[in-house]
Structure formats: C-alpha cells, structure tokens
Amino acid sequence: MAMSNMGMNNKDDELNKLLEKKAKELVKVASNEPVELDDNNFNGFIKSRKVVVVDFWAPWCAPCFLLEPILKALAREMPCVGFGRLNTQEWPDVAAKYDVMSLPTVIIFRDGEPVDFVVGAVPKKIIADKIRNILGEN
C-alpha cells in the first residue's frame, strides 16, 4: 500500500509542476510579456493573434540583449499584439524555416504569415512603426 501512495505523490508533484508552469505562462500572456517559444509552441503562437512579433535571438548575441527591453516595452504598450522570443541556438530548424541568417532578427507575422522583418538592434520607433503599419494605424 505504501508503494502505491508514493506513486500517487510523485504524480501529484508532476501535476502540480505542470499546473505551476501553465499558470506562469497564462500570467505572461495576460500581462503581455514576451513568450518563450520553441519547436512545440511556435506555430500555435504565431496564429494566436492577428499580429505577432517574434524575436529570433541567441545567448551569445550581444545586440540581442539590447533589443530585449525594447520588445518588452512594446509588448506592454501594444496589448493586442503577441510578442515571442525564439532561442535560435536551441531551435535552429525554426529559424532556418524563416531564413533567419543574422541576429537579432525580428519577424512580424499577420494571420500566421511573415509580413515584415527587422535585422539588427534598431531603435524602438522603427519596430513600433512597422507594427503600427501592419495594424493599419499609420
């Protein structure tokens, strides 16, 4: 009997960890923080909203870290737009699918399809103007 209770406790722990992870993801979406993307959630994410912005980055890329706070600020300012980040070192196949050759690269998707992009660490206004143009605000 004690063995089966231990098995149940492990399953409860696993379930609680999954629930905590999902709760953290939901809080990020609710506060419109950029979502960490991977091979499993990328396609669903780019189709989750009318307009989605994805930052393709890598841990060794210094300009990528300059762009991160800009995208976080835009995410707070544009709650109707989805923002995500894809670590190209961990998920090179996803980056290759969109011909990402330089980092950072930001691709703007509309209805799940790429419609514009920015390469390099650029001022916030450049990215904001491109997003507003796609939203039809310019």
Catalytic residues: 61, 64
- Give the end-to-end CA distance of the chain in Å, rounded to a whole number: 68
Beta strands in the chain (DSSP E): 35-37, 51-57, 82-87, 105-110, 113-119
Pair of tokens at residue 73:
């600020």
Quick one: which H or E segment has residue 128? helix 124-135
Beta bridge partners of 122: none
Beta bridge partners of 42: none
Of the CA atoms within 13 Å of residue 49, those in its CB half-sphere come to 18
Q: Length of the chain in residues, anyone?
A: 138
